[in-house]
Amino acid sequence: MMEKQDNNVESQTDVLIIGAGPSGLMAAYWMARCGIRARIVDKRRTKVFTGQADGLRMRTMELFDSMGFQHRVQQEGHVAVEANFWVPDGKGGLVRQGPHCSSKVNESPFRHMLLNQGRIERFLLDSIKQHSDLKIERGTIAECFEYNKDMEDDPSGYPITVKLRSRSENEANPPGLDRTGTSSDPVANELNQGNLNPDDWDDFTQKSQSEQSQTEFIKAKYLIGCDGAHSWTRKKLNIPLQGESTDHVWGVIDVVPISDFPDIRRLGTVAHESGTILVIPRERNLVRLYVPVQTIEDATTVNGRFNRSQVTLGVIKRRVQTIFAPYTFDFRICDWWTAYQVGQRIAPTFTKGNRVFLAGDAVHTHSPKVGLGMNMSMQDGFNIGWKVALVAGGVATPSILGTYDAERHRLAEMLLEFDRHWSGFFTEGEKDSKTQNMIKVVELFEDFADGRRSFYGASELVWKVDGSEGPSTARHLIPGERFPPVKLRMQADGNLRWTTRLFESDGRFRIVILAGDVREKRQMERVVTLTQYLSGSDPKTRSVLQRYAPIMGRFDCAVDIMAIHSGSWTEVEFFDFPKILRPFDPVTGWAYDKIWCDDACVWNRNCDGKGYEKWGVDRMRGAVLVLRPDQYIGWVGELEEVNDMISYLDGVLVRTVACDRP
Amino acid sequence: MMEKQDNNVESQTDVLIIGAGPSGLMAAYWMARCGIRARIVDKRRTKVFTGQADGLRMRTMELFDSMGFQHRVQQEGHVAVEANFWVPDGKGGLVRQGPHCSSKVNESPFRHMLLNQGRIERFLLDSIKQHSDLKIERGTIAECFEYNKDMEDDPSGYPITVKLRSRSENEANPPGLDRTGTSSDPVANELNQGNLNPDDWDDFTQKSQSEQSQTEFIKAKYLIGCDGAHSWTRKKLNIPLQGESTDHVWGVIDVVPISDFPDIRRLGTVAHESGTILVIPRERNLVRLYVPVQTIEDATTVNGRFNRSQVTLGVIKRRVQTIFAPYTFDFRICDWWTAYQVGQRIAPTFTKGNRVFLAGDAVHTHSPKVGLGMNMSMQDGFNIGWKVALVAGGVATPSILGTYDAERHRLAEMLLEFDRHWSGFFTEGEKDSKTQNMIKVVELFEDFADGRRSFYGASELVWKVDGSEGPSTARHLIPGERFPPVKLRMQADGNLRWTTRLFESDGRFRIVILAGDVREKRQMERVVTLTQYLSGSDPKTRSVLQRYAPIMGRFDCAVDIMAIHSGSWTEVEFFDFPKILRPFDPVTGWAYDKIWCDDACVWNRNCDGKGYEKWGVDRMRGAVLVLRPDQYIGWVGELEEVNDMISYLDGVLVRTVACDRP
């Protein structure tokens, strides 16, 4: 037992999140959204303002849209979808190969974007504040951990005890200069306050209130450890990181470059016999460069590890100058820089007893050069966040928690595989075929990397049909994959919305009826039959909307029902549809946002009425599917396969008491 | 002279703005952007949160883009570009005519949107805060006014003296319930705090600090009166509002309707023999209805004016029910409502001595049903704002201030003319041809109403060429009109930007070189010749960039130079261009944002490379133009007509001392 002094606070929470970086904040978003009793702590005194991660893949942008703030990224970020590969021209110069652009770039409303992690944290924090009173407790360190395995299977038990200590003012920790010793932390951080966004100012000047260190013993039902590469949580669970480090040392700099290199503001690589630089243009004239510095053999090692103090900003600059030659390179403004040693490591498991979970860098570390780290971490936090929130809220059955490790571990392995292929290019010597090989690797992994495919396997949350593709009724709606985004028109008001925003991340599962061409009487009859079943018109059943537990304080039911028809917007009326698709409330009247239309719109090019084609669904007959709260497809079938669909939902959602009785 | 007591504060400011509604905040934006010493006061204790205006026309959205916050409107607002006209079907029912959509809807990146004034004020306030320390002084009343005509022509003089009094806590004034008696103010305001956006909360709970009333005598160089229909400023200037009121009384309600009317969520009209209702769908399930209530003959009048207390929410509701029949209508939630009497009134002049200016409702009042009031008011404030800011900042010559009245008075007259035509439809009886006549009036006025055309006349700020259209070299670039928006690619980084955002409202005039196809040697030579002149390579001249005064603390020169070429993005290089288009700074390196390309982009449908066609400019030869700080075209010509262009700039901008010497 931990030693508990009389003056220590004891408390309880349903969910404790350790670490308020991108993955921790994504998990915290779900607690805020679903009204879960939760705490989130971070050892640092402030959020990140500069440096760190900066790449945002298509799928991350889609998730941001479902969370309500992708427009802020669009406004501030830099789009980078075309890459140029610069290689020696054999005459002492460099020559451009490219630009290369993915053929799949238009398969999402969003593009690959670059914006520093500090801004992403800003948007996440603002979103959490908008939905709840959940505050990040900064300057707070987790120190002791106890886990009572006997309570593991009792959903009402608190098997986890953690001692938290808030750091006093006296424990020096200047903002942005955390020297806690992880190899991915900055060596030095030349934070330029003039570069600070005005809406970050309050956080930057914020000080911890406590003058003395305070401790608290907190008991939790669930713990999510998002505490980075040197995760305290992971160590307490005795889960190792497996893998190895290469002997290559890299420098990363965020600078406002002074360079006559023609593509200094374009995504690309610059190859040299001694290694390859990756160029990443960013917001506010910043450019990030990943620079191969040296191998361990050249460097002094301390206890077998590379002595990072040998890499200075000057060393990195001179390396860039060498590789960029004959082009010039210099800078006066450096926003952030660091040096790191590449390693690919992964934890064998991401959970203990499905009560403690690890996410992000805590369970997978790799080179940052694939521009995927923050995306993978955020998607980890997003994945475990909704599952823990719904289970802790009594909405979903605890068994779904096992899908976190199953779904995300496999992707972390793919991440490391991609990184092994990709990183090799930056240290190997120059070859004629290198650019083509690089493009081949990008194309091999891009569905995974961009998040167009997630490869989530079969589980209670993913009911696979025969084969790995979608069913014949909806060829491109594949259980375990994302719903291919389409811009739709709301039947009632004619406004347009991408499905990524329409399927808002609010905690609910969604039954999406692709109603087909409801102008045809026989098709409308099929829709009516389905909705009658869902409405519980059969006296032996109840409405689906009364069958499952509510998300307390947010929604009466954890399932939402929507329809997307394929008829002409002007030839169909809102009141043509069955009542369950236009639910009536005595205070707010009819809900107008359940019925949508896949029809072209004359005043918006992106609304082209080709959703059904994109989904591989017959425009007359339609189909029906269940989307998980994270917009991944859980179940797909024909309009008549409603019993099967209810079985899917029964397997993951807690039923109301009335329904639980036979 | 005003009586000055010893304990009264005396102070000076360059610009005093009275009224912090949409027009006052637009003017204040410019003071914030250009770093002008300014004050802005408002008699109300808080900003508006609900009700009031809600329509945003295309041009207003374009201006918001240049100010950096149109994306926030897009995220929250409701698009309404298709209108349905419901008329009696002759059998006791109603029948839909429509939807009608403007053929010109795609001539802007933005659509007609609906969002309440409170949110617009929020975005303006956030933008002002981002650029300066300028604070709105609320609960502050202007009480005495003195104008010293002798100082009128002295730019360094302070001809205006105003006594300001901050209202004490004891002067009751609950937020959102200002009963100061203007006919457009709310009769009652059922503010629903649950409907408040989280980012408005601080403003809503804000209290005036002063317990006692305080007074201050403030001297100002310029005064902008944006104090509404019953403008104190206008009265002090003895400028009347001319025109008349009709005898029709209207109710306006913002409600969450409970109605089976099929188009309750669509823009449209519902006609009845006793008058026509205008239906305006809005954000967060709100719908605004403009309802003809009664004529003055039916009502009790007090001192010849309509007794507003007779119109209750119940009266308005019953009128809607009558007109909507056989469809139902009711509501439980009313966000805001008011009653008003229609009048078209205009001030004969908008200025006194070009030192005091009036904007918005202070100089034109009309029915709100054309959805133009807030747009016109904001565009007034925008127009006078940049002019006063640049003159007060010593950047522009005071003579440009005369263009405010010339440009905006004419538009206010058009507004009233449109309103007279349009409002008539809502009170006249039902006719067969009415819908067609309504569409005709909309089409007659839509260029003006949407802001596609501004009709600004010739002045030192607008150098007209022969005829009223553009020159042969740029047929659709018409001096006095807006620059037709196009999505362009930045040459250096390939990112895309609408010109509406590219030409940021930062106070600078812009020389825009439509450089033509610079892949052709002879065309590039023409561009080089022009830029050599602009760079001052002739020893007798100086660079244009050194010729004009700076915007102190913001820009070294009040003129920016940009180029938009028509070549292929991949066949042209950044360093191909003359130095003045890629200015070098020893700290930040080359500026990359001056050279743009009108070329199609594979990953964005809106970037179609058809800008030159839209502008009526030959893709080979190009043209050159000067944009005013408000994105209106000031001057257009051939690349060789640079002397003429410099004469234009010399006429409006203050030259540096070195240049003023012959």
Nearest-angstrom CA–CA distance, A240 and A234: 7
Give the separation between CA A428 and CA A527, rounded to whole angstroms: 60
- How confident is the model over B399-421, as a mean pLDDT? 96
Alpha helices in B242-335, H assignment, sequence order: 313-324
Question: Bigger pLDDT: B638 or B248?
Answer: B638
Interface residue A592 vs chain B (CB under 8 A) = yes
Between the alpha carbon of residue B370 and those of residues B78, B365, B367, B441, the distances in Å are 17, 12, 7, 11
Q: Please report which confidence band the pLDDT of residue A168 belongs to, taking 50, 70 and 90 as the band edges.
A: confident
Q: How confident is the model at residue B249 (pLDDT cuts 50, 70, 90)?
A: confident
CB contact set of B244 (below 8 Å; sequence gap of 6+): B343, B344, B345
Give A501-565 as a DSSP string. Answer: HHS--SS-EEEEEEEE-TTSHHHHHHHHHHHHHHHT-STTS--HHHHB--BTTTBS-SEEEEEEE
Give the long-range contacts of residues A309-318, CB within 8 A, separation 24 or more. Answer: A309/A187, A311/A187, A311/A249, A311/A251, A311/A339, A313/A188, A313/A253, A313/A337, A315/A251, A316/A251, A316/A253, A316/A289, A316/A291, A317/A253
- CA pair distance A148, A167, nearest whole angstrom: 27
Average the pLDDT over each of A12-16, A170-174, A563-567, B60-64 and give the range with the smallest value.
A170-174
CB proximity A196 to B under 8 Å:
no
Tell me the CA end-to-end span of chain A in Å, nearest whole number: 44
What's the average model confidence in pLDDT over B99-113?
95
What is the predicted pLDDT for the residue at A195?
Answer: 60
Q: Which A residues 53-82 touch B at CB under 8 Å?
A: 68, 71-72, 74-75, 78-79, 81-82
Percent of chain A predicted with pLDDT > 90: 77
Tokens (6 digits) for B298: 């039916």
Contact check, Cβ <8 Å, B602/A101: yes
Let me know: does B143 contact B163? Beta carbons within 8 Å.
yes
Q: Residue A403 corresponds to which amino acid?
A: T
Q: Which amino acid is at A440?
A: K
pLDDT at B182: 36
Q: Are strands A214-225 and A9-18 parallel, antiparallel or unpaired?
A: parallel
How confident is the model at residue A305, as a pLDDT? 63
Instruction: List, in order, residues 6 or more apart from B254 with CB less than 8 Å away.
Output: B50, B51, B116, B282, B286, B287, B288, B334, B335, B336, B337
Is residue B154 within 8 A of residue B221, CB to CB? The reply is no
* Closest-CA distance of chain A to residue B402, Å: 36
Least confident of A409-418, A632-641, B20-29, B425-434: B425-434
β-bridge pairing B595-597 and B559-565: parallel
| pLDDT tens string A135-146 | 999 999 999 999
Q: Which B residues, 93 through 132, put their C-beta within 8 Å of a C-beta on chain A?
A: 99, 101, 105-106, 111, 129-130
CA–CA dist A598, A577 (Å, integer)? 16
Task: Tell me how far CA of residue A595 lies from CA of A492, B290, B510, in angstroms.
Answer: 8, 27, 47
Output the pLDDT for position B571: 97
Question: Cα–Cα distance between A109 and A58 in angstroms, integer?
Answer: 8
C-alpha separations of B79 from A344, B3, B169 in Å = 49, 53, 41
Subunit contact A492:B266, Cβ cutoff 8 A: yes
d(CA A645, CA A650): 9
Interface pTM (ipTM) of the complex?
A: 0.92
Bridge partners (DSSP) listed for residue A251 = A291, A339
- Contact between B586 and B605 (Cβ < 8 Å): no
The vertex-A62 CA angle with A58 and A64, nearest 5°, equals 115
Q: Is the pLDDT of residue B191 over 60?
A: no
What pLDDT is recorded for position A244? Answer: 83
* Three-class secondary structure of residue B658 per DSSP: helix
Question: Cβ contact (<8 Å) for A265 and B72?
Answer: no
User: Position of tokens 């809220």?
Assistant: A393
Predicted local distance difference test score (pLDDT) of residue A497: 98
> Which of 202-231 (A) contact B at CB < 8 A?
none
> Are the beta carbons of B111 and A570 separated by less than 8 Å?
no
What is the distance of C-alpha B94 from the center of its chain?
37
How do residues A457-509 score in pLDDT, each as one tens digit?
999 999 998 766 678 899 999 999 999 999 999 999 999 999 999 999 999 99
d(CA A35, CA A395): 12
Q: Of residues B42, B54, B254, B361, which has the active-site annotation? A: B54
On the question of a cis peptide bond just before residue A99, with omega within 30 degrees of 0, the verdict is yes
Q: H-helix or E-strand containing A364? A: strand A364-365
Q: For all residues of chain A together, what is the average pLDDT? A: 90
Locus of tokens 């929410």: B313
The pLDDT value given to residue B540: 61
Residue B496 contacts A, CB cutoff 8 Å: yes
For residues A661 and A552, is the Cβ–Cβ distance under 8 A?
no
- For residue B8, is pLDDT > 80? no
Dihedral angle sign, alpha carbons of residues A342, A347, A350, A356: negative
Best of A488, A495, A596 to substitute, by most chain B Cβ atoms within 10 angstroms, is: A495
Q: What is the pLDDT of residues A1-51, one digit of tens each?
A: 555 555 678 999 999 999 999 999 999 999 999 999 999 999 999 888 888
Exposure letters B273-307 (e unless 16+ CB within 10 A, then b): eebbbbbbbbbebbbbbbbbbbebeebeeeeeebe
Angle at A145 between CA A139 and CA A147, to 5 degrees: 145
Task: Assess whether pLDDT exceeds 70 at residue B205.
Answer: no
Whether B592 sits inside 8 A of A265 (CB atoms) is yes
Amino acid letter, residue A217: F
- Nearest CA to A565 out of A594, A538, A591, A596 is that of A596
Furthest C-alpha separation in chain A: 84
Q: In the numeric block, which tokens belong to residue B386?
A: 């940049």
Find all residues with CB under 8 Å of B207, minimum gap 6, and list them.
B45, B169
Structure confidence at residue A649 as a pLDDT band (50, 70, 90): very high
Alpha helices in A600-641 (DSSP H): 611-615
Distance CA(B135)–CA(B118), nearest Å, equals 17
**By the 8 A CB rule, do A308 and A339 touch?**
yes
Token pair belonging to A125: 């924090």
What band does B178 get if pLDDT is binned at 50, 70 and 90?
very low
Contact partners, residue B251, CB within 8 Å, separation at least 6: B289, B290, B291, B293, B311, B315, B316, B319, B337, B338, B339
- In A227-292, alpha helices (H): 232-236
CA B294 – CA B296 distance, rounded (Å): 7
Residues of A with a catalytic annotation lie at: 54, 282, 290, 368
For residue A256, list its beta bridge partners. A333
CA-nearest residue of chain A to B258? A589
Alpha carbon distance A319, A190 (integer Å): 20
Beta pairing partners, B626: B511, B635
Which of A34, A187, A53 is CA-nearest to residue A120? Answer: A53
* Dihedral, CA of residue B252, residue B254, residue B258 and residue B259, to nearest 10: 50
Q: And the tokens for B590? A: 């080359």
Give the pLDDT mean for B81-110: 95
| Distance, CA of B365 to chain centre | 16
Instruction: Kindly list the residues from chain A whose CB atom is less than 8 angstroms away from the CB atom of residue B333.
Output: 587-588
pLDDT of residue A101: 94
In the predicted model, is pLDDT for residue A296 greater than 80?
A: no
Q: What integer pLDDT is reported at residue A542 of this predicted model?
A: 77
Task: Let me know: does B619 contact B612? Beta carbons within 8 Å.
Answer: yes
Q: Which among A142, A151, A149, A140 is positioned nearest to A236, based on CA atoms? A: A142
User: For the sheet containing B595-597, what is the strand order?
Assistant: B496-498, B487-490, B595-597, B559-565, B509-516, B623-627, B633-637
pLDDT at B169 over 60: yes
Q: Which residue of A has its CA nearest to B74?
A: A71
Mean pLDDT of A318-335: 96
Q: Specify the amino acid at residue B229.
A: A
B72, B101, B570 member nearest A99 (Cβ):
B570
Q: Show the DSSP H helices in A428-515 as ranges.
A: 434-450, 499-502
Give residue A37's Cα distance to chain centre. Answer: 22
Report pLDDT for A193: 45
CA distance linking residue A280 with residue A286, whole number of Å: 9
**First and final CA of chain B: distance in angstroms?**
44
Cβ neighbours of A589 in B, within 8 Å: 256-259, 285, 331
